[in-house]
Amino acid sequence: MSGRGAGGPAVTGAGGYPPLGELAFLSDCGTAALMGPDAAVKWMCAPRYDAPSVFARLLDRRVGGAWELTVEGAGAPRRW
């Protein structure tokens, strides 16, 4: 797995974190996640909103953890 996710360039703002406006909010009305521009889940609480975070890379890049799915040998992502 690549630290950049999907083999693309890492999008970073101040302090190496993605700008807040670049994050996608995903929810099923019971839990929530924030996905970064590299398609990695940067923050997620489960199984409820008030549960501790499962992935917290958004808070600490070094030890926060994230969930990434990459395809080995894939080219750089393209936006249409």
Q: What is the pLDDT of residue 1?
A: 35
Ordered strands of the 32-35 beta sheet: 24-27, 32-35, 41-45, 53-56
Our CA angle for 7, 31, 18, nearest 5°, is 35
Report in angstroms the alpha-carbon separations of 5 from 8, 26, 37: 6, 18, 9
Segment 2-20, tens digit of pLDDT = 344 444 445 566 667 778 8
- Walk along the chain (80 residues) and give the pLDDT tens digit of each residue: 334 444 444 556 666 777 888 889 999 988 888 888 888 888 888 888 888 888 888 777 777 777 777 778 877 767 66
Q: What is the pLDDT of residue 8?
A: 42
pTM above threshold 0.75: no
Please name which of 55, 39, 44 lies closest in space to residue 5, comparing C-alpha atoms: 39
> Hey, where are the domains in the chain?
23-70
